[in-house]
Chain A
Amino acid sequence: MPYTKRRRLVSSAVAVTLGATAIAACGSSSDDGEARSGPVSLTYWTWTPGMDKVVDLWNKGPGKKEQITVTVKKQASGDTLVTKILTAHKAGKAPDLVQAEYQALPTLVSNDALADIGDTVGGAKSKFAEGVWQQTTLGTDAVYAVPQDIGPMMFYYREDLFKEYGLTVPATWDEFAETARKLKKAAPDKDLTTFSANDSGLFAGLAQQAGARWWTTSGDKWKVGINDAATKKVADFWGGLVEEGAVDNQPMYTPAWNKALNTGKQIAWVSAVWAPGTLTTAAPGTKGKWAMAPLPQWNEGESSTGSWGGSSTAVTTDSRNKEAAAKFAAWLNTDGEALNALAKEGGIYPASTSAQLSGAFTSPPEYFSNQPDFYKKAAGIAETTAPSAWGPNVNVAYTSFKDAFGAAAKNKSDFTAALDTMQEDTVADLEKQGFGVAE
């Protein structure tokens, strides 16, 4: 029997496998070849619908002149994409350009996946609100991305039902609580809104509005302030409302939630500028009955909001044509024609301030045709976005939030304890990853 031959085959196969693993373990070796002459082709990972059509404008216009061709590879959004980018980066195969949510930027930068494109895109700074631009610099002199879309938070409510129950639009969070109680008295089977623990971005935005700074640096160490006074205030406020039963405690984005919005069982929603799109599918029967107002404030006379969602365009360190890629990123997010197409094809709300009132944003979203000044109001609110402070393990804090607050909301138990859990989990993970953490 040819067993010797077989054995040799097996052993060499094992050797090849081990050898290859060893090579892979050596890490990535990315060539840093800068801007070559001649035609350049770039790949771009993005989840924005219709991005291929926007990129066509570049490939046929400015890109053709500069001989820079961009190819879109459509991806699914979310934390998993960050993992995918980092895995590809480990093999030195990340695409030239990636779409990344603001809170993912520190994770990508701390893994050395994003290039500093300040030299090429630095001039675009004036096109964006300061709080937005600051998220792409991470407080350094470098620029790691160009802002694309933002999600300033707003208060949405059923205009007709507010009138029916004699409610006024709350200007402060105290009034918000009063409104919730008043509705409960008038219609015990209805809720003003729900506290949902299945999207951490909402809570992060509310904390941001209150002035929380979850991740800061002191020296070369990270400082985690998830259970700081501002966030505690937000957690206590919502925990109190849930405990007394003034608001519902069921998660959003479920069929039951859609139904509650569609049938008027829940008559308001703390959301962001992209809410019209969500409401169109969640509550198609109540079109034209909703209205938008600024988020309630913590103190009377203030005007500040948080952000929920939003993303940027970044250039990876694996790119061999970083300058060309940065040129495209700047065009995509500052050029009027590009932004108009992005709004039309992708339904995004642009970060660029000049685009917020032009083109697609001169008329209200179809669902809000009853509020003609929707986007004018939105642009005003966007200006008041509080600064945010993201760190390298937002995903861990977010997961911890979902677990701890999910349980606390369900059991109507102490939200402060849940917040402490979130703080502890986040600090423990930072330490495990080898970051220095200041007390």
Chain B
Amino acid sequence: MSSLTLHEAEPAAGTARRPARRRGTALVPTVTLLLGALYCLLPVAWVVIASTKSGSELFSTFTFWPGTGFTENVSDLGTYRDGVYWQWMGNSALYAGLGALLSACVSAVSGYALAIHRFRGRETLFNVLLAGVLMPPVILAVPQYLLLAKADLTDSYLSVLLPQILSPYGVYLARIYAAAAVPADVVEAGRMDGAGEWRIFTRVALPMMVPGLVTVFLFQFVAIWNNFLLPYIMLSDDEKFPITLGLYTLLEQGASTPALYTLVITGAFLAVFPLVALFLVIQRFWSLDLLSGAVKS
């Protein structure tokens, strides 16, 4: 996704040089891609089919043969502990939606500042951020917990939102994108016309950065939606759990109780829908890319 966006943002000098290829020569790449797609989609197909099986069919019938229990599974899931599953779904939407939105805002401001403004320590700051990109967020979860515990914020919605607002990768991407999409001339022209820095940013630069920010938003949305360790450490009240954590509690119920496999599989299947919908809705913003830009070379 990112590479796609970045390449599109670059001046289209490379493509012009390459002559149009004839069809038919691309057999090897096509087969490779098809194999890759199969590799990625097979587990998804498994989840889809397994979610239609009832408890007794799950392990006894052929793996890729649909069962008869889908509606029952969904209604079981809905009634489990008074519908706590939908609460988890809502929590995940809140964490991921609000978190990704705030993260995109922070990335936009910092990325723009790092790309356009020159100030002392800019490169140092940027290098620190780059180091942050290399740091897996998992490592930070425990220190973040101890920090938030000092502020008495653990086991709250904020404890999951706050640490995920700053995404080093998002800032990095926004900087690269702003450097490519917002020409210095445009910013200069804005200043000549007497616009303040904030006005230039919000009215001129921000619209140019939208496709890049959409990428940041999507990345962060998926990252938060799938995040497990941070909410696991932060939260103890299962009404605040996101879906990842909720499904985990369905699996690990102690030795005396069997894992609720059918509920977990159906729950995982339903949890994919918001992500798919989001991608379908938002991908149109990416095509704006080619139309945007005020300075044509």
Contact = CB atoms under 8 A, between A and B. Distances in A.
A439 to B, nearest CB: 34
Interface in B205-256: 232-233, 236-238, 245, 248-249, 251-256
B191 to A, nearest CB: 12
A87 interface: yes
Given A201-B255, A348-B256, A87 B233 contact: yes
Interface string A314-351: 00000000000000000000000000000000111100
B253 A77 contact: yes
Interface string B110-147: 00010001111100010000000000000000110111
B258 A278 contact: yes
Contacts of B118: 1
Contacts of A90: 146
B59 interface: yes
B150 interface: yes
Contact of B119 (A7, A43, A255): A7
Contacts of B245: 76
Interface in B139-186: 142-143, 145-147, 149-150, 154
A272 B255 contact: yes
A47 B252 contact: yes
A277 B238 contact: no
A382 to B, nearest CB: 14
Contacts of B32: none
Nearest to B143: A21
A309 B255 contact: yes
Interface in A53-105: 73-78, 80, 84, 87-88, 90-93, 95
Interface in A233-282: 255, 258-259, 262-263, 272, 274, 277-278, 280-282
B236 A285 contact: no
A149 interface: yes
B154 A282 contact: no
Q: Which residue among B63, B238, B253, B261 has the maximum number of chain A CB atoms within 10 Å of its CB? A: B253
Contact of A47 (B58, B145, B253): B253
Contacts, number: 123
A47 B259 CA distance: 12
Interface string A293-312: 00000000000000011110
Contact of B238 (A23, A43, A74): A74
A252 B117 CA distance: 60
A10 B125 contact: yes
A347 B249 contact: no
B74 to A, nearest CB: 19
A76 B149 contact: no
A3 B147 contact: no
Nearest to A282: B59
Contacts of A74: 238, 249
Contact of A93 (B58, B143, B154, B237): B154
A48 interface: yes
B120 A91 contact: no
B257 interface: yes
Nearest to B232: A84
A77 B233 contact: no
Given A20-B150, A23-B150, A76 B251 contact: yes
Contacts of A77: 252-255
Contact of B236 (A24, A73, A262, A347): A73
Tier of interface size on chain A: 35 or more
Given A282-B59, A347-B256, A75 B249 contact: yes
A7 B125 CA distance: 10
A346 B248 CA distance: 18
Contact of A274 (B56, B119, B248, B255): B255
B293 interface: no
Contacts of A88: 145, 149, 154, 236
A92 B58 CA distance: 44
Contact of B248 (A76, A87, A308, A311): A76
A432 B19 CA distance: 64
A125 B137 CA distance: 46
B232 A92 contact: no
A308 B255 contact: yes
B144 to A, nearest CB: 10
Contacts of A201: 255
A43 B237 CA distance: 10
10 nearest interchain CB pairs?
Answer: A3-B119, A91-B149, A309-B255, A258-B59, A76-B252, A274-B256, A24-B146, A284-B56, A77-B254, A281-B258
Given A7-B121, A47-B253, 13 more contacts: A1-B117, A6-B119, A20-B147, A20-B150, A21-B147, A49-B257, A74-B238, A75-B238, A149-B256, A272-B255, A281-B258, A311-B254, A348-B256
26 contacts: A3-B120, A6-B119, A10-B125, A21-B143, A24-B150, A48-B257, A49-B253, A74-B238, A75-B236, A76-B248, A76-B252, A76-B253, A77-B252, A77-B253, A77-B254, A90-B146, A201-B255, A255-B59, A259-B60, A262-B60, A263-B60, A277-B258, A281-B259, A309-B254, A309-B255, A311-B254
